[in-house]
A = this chain, B = another copy of it.
Amino acid sequence: MIVRTRLESSHLAGNLLGDPSERDLFVYLPRGYEESDRRYPTAYLLHAYGQTAEQVVTPDTDGQRWSPPIEDVLDPVFGRMGVPPMIVVIPDGNSRYGCGQWVDSPVTGNFEQYVVNDVVPFVDANHRTIPDSRSRGLFGFSSGGFGSWNLASRNPDVFAAMAVLSADTFLDMTHKFMPYKYLDSIWPEAPDGPVEGNFWSEIVYDYAACYSPNPDRPPHYVDLPVAHPSGELIQDVWDRWLSFDPVVNVHDRLDNLRKLSGILLDAGSNDDYSLYWGHRLLSHHLNAAGIAHEHRENPGNHGGRANERFQVALQWLSRVLEGD
């Protein structure tokens, strides 16, 4: 059963994009929840770029029926797969540019604070969770994997484990081409905000709104990391992007990471953006610091099988989080 509520957040209020500060919040209660009074570990599912929580939970189920509702993904985990029951929380992190990337930004909204300070207390107050960090984990694919890293590595007192699935990592190799793709797509015009239907423009403005916001530069409120028309990399803007990159900020967060009870890195060795290189490098840095973690590669690409990865991630989370 999934309970849908709406949550108003002061941390999202006032975002410069004018996106809503009241958001959907979905809470999956495992079979047996109603009949018992036990408490459950909780897994937070952070969705990917371009999605909303609603689309994850209740995709259109008309004749097309491409994506199953998330319950069809979760039920077998706690059913046929035999994983002990957990509560799964699905917050909304959408932005009009695609995704708030689960970080704090004056432009898109403070999504980190929103999850940590609004969502978690609300869930603990309203559902029979085990209200302790040792029983609270994160998982997500792509931007959701990136968000899992960001939230857990900065808030180990809130989340004890993260399953990082095909996450945005090693931006210097995997994302630096994107602003150039954007310029190519509009050349010889000058950049002037995201162009509807132009993927590269939307994702670049999305990242910039999250990683290099500039409240003093209306109407788009961002600094882009490349100059136009020279194409020069603007190093100080790019460095702001890099500060969010797991392979960069891992070095400053070792103490936090050591506190976690579980880190899973899982990426496809055919990932379209070569994100496996980021995962490998992250694993290397964790090993160098003596931080235990699990590093897996699967034969997949970036596009497919996120639902199946969620199932695997929950199976793993259940082992590293404390039950009652």
* Interface residues of A, Cβ cutoff 8 Å to B: 61, 63-69, 71-72, 75-76, 80-81, 170, 172-173, 176-177, 180, 184, 187, 229-233, 269, 274, 277, 280-281, 284, 296, 298-300, 304-305, 308, 311-312
Residues of B contacting A274 in the complex (Cβ-Cβ under 8 angstroms): 177, 180, 184
Closest B residue by C-beta to A71: B80
Pairs A–B under 8 Å by Cβ, sample size 19? A65-B308, A65-B311, A65-B312, A67-B308, A68-B76, A69-B80, A71-B76, A75-B75, A75-B76, A170-B231, A173-B177, A173-B180, A184-B274, A229-B284, A230-B284, A231-B277, A231-B281, A232-B281, A232-B284
Determine chain A's interface SS by DSSP, over half rule. loop
Question: Are B299 and A64 in touch, CB under 8 angstroms?
Answer: yes
Nearest chain B CB to A135 CB, angstrom units = 23
- Measured in the bound complex, the distance between the Cα atoms of B189 and A80 in whole Å is 38
- Measured in the bound complex, the distance between the Cα atoms of B69 and A80 in whole Å is 9
Residues of B contacting A80 in the complex (Cβ-Cβ under 8 angstroms): 69, 71-72
Please pick, from B68, B81, B284, the residue contacting A231 in the complex, using a CB distance under 8 A.
B284
Nearest chain B CB to A59 CB, angstrom units = 10
- Measured in the bound complex, the distance between the Cα atoms of B304 and A68 in whole Å is 13
- Measured in the bound complex, the distance between the Cα atoms of B311 and A172 in whole Å is 38
